[in-house]
Amino acid sequence: MHGRAPQLRVLRASASVPAVKLDGDYLFEAKIQDVWEAILDPEVLAATMPGCEKLDLVDGAYVGKLKVKVGPVQGKFDGKVTLEDVRELEGYKVLVDGRGPAGFVNATANVALSEEGAGTRIQYDADAKVGGRIASVGQRLVEASAKAIIAQSLEGLHENIKIRAAHAAEKSAAPEPEPEPAPEAEPEVEAEAKPEVPADEAETKRPAPAADAPKSKPPLKRVTEADMAAAVAREVSKSLLPQPVIYAIVFGVGVAVGWVLKSMMG
């Protein structure tokens, strides 16, 4: 892990809408310019958010669809993310509004970037409200899912930033192709007279303009729902069992495996 694990506290705002307070940080092994460009790129964000099916930049806001599963409750959310107080290479404020048949999420977050050696540290703190069926699964699963989504998103973002940086370095190091020699001029030949073609027929036979060659982009690594499910399971196990119990289980499993191997070899 490259930063402080997400800290989450669930405060009871009402009987049906728990208020969530979340904060943490993460250290990226990348320049601040690379991190800044990545966290504003909808293609990169869509690849790093588990369950994200679509994300577009529309009129200055990010609009998309997200599939979320929390325990037995799952559903698709239509979401809108608006950035305010944007300070280039420093940070911004985020307003999140997500709604679907399974419930809703409203959140406000502050994101700050700072250079740390050769890397970049991102710090965040957020306040959110979760309601509907997705909040009925209980505080423990809401906490585990929130932590898992953030952890998986940050790890995926880090990997994709490194992919983009490696691709840019490879392109800059590649030699530019030499220009092709100009073709030799052919002798002029008197053109034969051709019958005139009606204007409307000539228009239909005009060749279509050549399309611009697409810009080369690196293939991004997507964070899958399976990744998130595994992360949620890990978080749930942490919240259900005290740390000493987890260590005891690991030790017991290790002893049992060693005993089995010894008996097989003996």
The answer to whether position 35 is within a domain reads yes
The answer to whether position 261 is within a domain reads no
pLDDT band at 37 (very low <50, low <70, confident <90, very high): very high
Into how many domains does the chain fold?
Answer: 1
- Residue (of 102, 62, 64) closest to 86 by Cα position: 62
The answer to whether position 208 is within a domain reads no
Which range has the top average pLDDT, 15-24, 188-197, 231-240?
15-24
- Residue (of 2, 266, 17) closest to 130 by Cα position: 17
State how far Cα 10 lies from the chain centre. Answer: 24
Expressed as residue numbers, the domain containing 154 is 7-168+219-246
The answer to whether position 181 is within a domain reads no
Answer whether 81's CB lies under 8 Å from 59's CB: no
pLDDT for residue 206: 52
The answer to whether position 147 is within a domain reads yes
**pTM for the model:** 0.66
State how far the alpha carbon of 264 is from the alpha carbons of 40, 74, 242, 255, 258, in Å: 56, 45, 34, 14, 10
User: Residue 55 sits in a domain of what CATH number?
Assistant: 3.30.530.20
Higher pLDDT, 201 or 107: 107
Structure tokens at 203: 């228009």
pLDDT of 214 strictly over 70:
no
Structure tokens at 123: 């710090």
pLDDT band at 33 (very low <50, low <70, confident <90, very high): very high
Question: For the chain, what is the mean pLDDT?
Answer: 75
State how far the alpha carbon of 158 is from the alpha carbons of 78, 90, 109, 122, 179, in Å: 25, 18, 20, 11, 38
The answer to whether position 155 is within a domain reads yes
pLDDT of 71 strictly over 90:
no
Average pLDDT, integer, range 119-148:
82
The answer to whether position 90 is within a domain reads yes
- Tens of pLDDT along 79-120? 999 999 999 999 999 999 999 988 888 899 999 999 999 999
Percent of the chain with pLDDT over 90: 29
**Calpha distance 12→183 (Å, rounded):** 77
The answer to whether position 66 is within a domain reads yes
Higher pLDDT, 211 or 94: 94
Higher pLDDT, 208 or 213: 208
